[in-house]
Structure 1
């Protein structure tokens, strides 16, 4: 009888855990978690960033909320979502790490946008010695929520309008949301075409503060 109860206990626990796995089986919900790792956002903001309708965005967020992976609060007429805890950010990051390690297709897709990259260690050394300008090409709300110290914020959509504010005699290190985001690579390519010495930092601010290797 005790063996049967132990088996039932394990099945129930794994059954509950599988709810999170099922919740993460959607590429759209993974993208929403990535965006919420940057900062809290309204449904409308998330819909704009993912180019989904507000209705579809809301449905995906409700699934994440049902799995207790996100929190929500009212702010006037808007609903604002955020990650439920730091462990959710760690979970999403671990999933990306495993995917990059085990799925050849991810490496192939990343190779298509390859730009000269820097390691976190090298980037931090350049920052410590003040030998480079860090350029954050994320939206302003994400930059304001947290950014590499001293970084200049020019959202990717505005970059071509603001080339003149960037120094020609300094190394520029571009970063965005990490390896699943193409903004840094695209921005680096644009800067190089304009004659800037630019490198893509293929890590996010989250990676920077957690000292990910």
Structure 2
């Protein structure tokens, strides 16, 4: 018969497995990326600036902890978050870090203050402007992330190709650019390019997983540019 102490130790050891899975900044970034949708190890390595070997090791750890699962797709394998609760846990950790660690604010302000200011919008402000037909919403993430889920009606102009396709972008209204969330820099990069070419631009601070968390609809597939 298992004693009381042994029982409690065994239970908390299992709970700690999830904490250990998240207790690494590189694994946290991989989870954040997978909140955008399924990806291969090559895609995750490229987007996180890791080697494929390093990304693979972190993914193995996440898989062993049941944070991610693997889905075969022909000759490739895609990594998925195990379920929506994993994304919810990541957003909770992010929110708690913002609330309790002053360093989060210090780091963020130091980064953003060194750049030319860009108007920031939250989801409610964006909804008001869209309802009044005041802005054009542009998703600047890679195409596969747009196809996995995007704001209904958003145009797809990946930041890496943006300069080559500016002529296709409407110029009669201000642009609102969005990417993966508050700490993603793709929308900032897009804002720099757009302003240099005479566009009025704002940045949406929320991302797809943030909208889903509050019950807002997203569209899947059907790239529009």
Same topology, TM > 0.5: yes
How do residues 49-128 of structure 1 correspond to structure 2 at under 5 angstroms?
49-111=47-109, 112-113=111-112, 115-128=118-131
- Following TM superposition, where does structure 1 have runs of at least 4 consecutive aligned residues deviating by more than 4 angstroms? none
Structure 1 counterpart of 2:161: 158
**Partner residue in 2 for 1:19:** 17
* Aligned-residue CA RMSD (Å): 1.9
Measured against aligned partners, the alpha-carbon deviations of 1:18-46 in whole angstroms (never above 9, x if no partner) come to 11111111111111111111111111111
From 208, 212, 220, the equivalent of 1:209 is 212
In structure 2, distance between residues paired with 1:151 and 1:130: 13
Separation in 1, partners of 2:120, 2:136: 15
In the TM superposition, residue 69 of structure 1 has moved relative to its aligned partner by 0.6
Deviation string 1:80-106 (CA, Å, 9 cap, x unpaired) is 110001000101111111122222232
- Please say if 1:183 is aligned against 2:186: yes
Give distance in 2, aligned partners of 1:150 and 1:211.
19
Q: In the TM superposition, what is the alpha-carbon distance from 1:77 to its structure 2 partner?
A: 2.6
TM-score normalized with structure 2 length: 0.86
Q: Which runs of 5+ in 2 are unaligned?
A: 216-225
Whether the 8 Å CA contact 1:43–1:78 is kept in 2: the answer is: no
CA deviations on 1:40-60 (whole Å, 9 max, x unpaired) are 111111112112221111111
For the residue of structure 1 that corresponds to 2:89, the secondary structure is helix
When normalised by structure 1's length, the TM-score is 0.91
1:167 is paired with a residue whose SS is coil
| Counterparts of 2:148 and 2:212, CA distance in 1 | 13
In the other structure, the counterpart of 2:144 is: 141
